[in-house]
Amino acid sequence: MKNAKLSAAVVSLMTLPACTVDTSTSVAAGSTRENLPVFVRNSVRNDVELEALAQGRLAIDQNGCLRIGGEQGPFVIWHHDSRIERTGDGRIKITDGYSGNTAYVGDEIAMGGGQGNRVPPATGARDKTPTNVTEPIPEACAAGEIWWAGHLMTDEERQRLLNH
């Protein structure tokens, strides 16, 4: 039953209509969007929480794309209410819109969510890049897997997973 719910949630997310660009991303005073990584959010505010698990380092690849699991990991599409900012000490902080939990680029993290289609897929045919996002996904970020972010776990929650 849980897998059926997850599959239905993934399908519903992938078929949501596109919305206009939302430029309301939170940025700390004194910083500019140019010095922050590509931060794309789901354009539809919803209470559906995907429950697949992704673990790894929150990284920025050479193209400025936020990925989980290192530079080759999936590109993250964050919850609608998530925020990004540069802190006073220069670190980049993400605040999860589901839980309010935070993570910094370079942290080992665990988060719920769901995997999107390969863009481009293994068949070589060009899938459409998701359009139900707050900003268009740059071509460089759309290469490879896409992770639709769910609940970002606290470090304590992540450690409990590792110990079981």
User: Which range among 7-16, 27-36, 60-69 has the greatest average pLDDT?
Assistant: 60-69
* d(C-alpha 153, C-alpha 159), whole Å: 10
Q: Which two three-digit tokens encode residue 135?
A: 């900003």
For 37, other C-beta atoms within 10 Å of its C-beta total 20
Residue 92: per-residue pLDDT: 97
Which residue in 51, 71, 23 sits closest to 148, CA to CA?
51
pLDDT in tens, 85-135: 999 999 999 999 888 999 999 999 999 888 775 444 445 555 566 667 878
Task: Please give the average per-residue pLDDT across 26-34, as a whole number.
Answer: 42
Q: What is the average pLDDT score of the chain?
A: 75
Q: Are 82 and 41 in contact (CB under 8 A)?
A: yes
Q: How many helices (H) and strands (E) does the chain have?
A: 3, 9
Task: Please give the average per-residue pLDDT across 5-16, as a whole number.
Answer: 38
Domain limits of the chain?
2-162
Q: Are 145 and 107 in contact (CB under 8 A)?
A: no
Contacts of 130 (CB under 8 A, 6+ apart): 14, 77, 116, 137, 146
Which residue in 78, 5, 12 sits closest to 39, CA to CA?
78
Cis ω before 120 (30° cut-off from 0): yes
Comparing 117 with 54, which gets the higher pLDDT? 54
How many CA within 13 A on the CB side of residue 37?
30
Model confidence at 154, pLDDT cuts 50, 70, 90, reads very high
* d(C-alpha 109, C-alpha 94), whole Å: 11
pLDDT in tens, 35-44: 899 999 887 7
Residue 52: per-residue pLDDT: 80
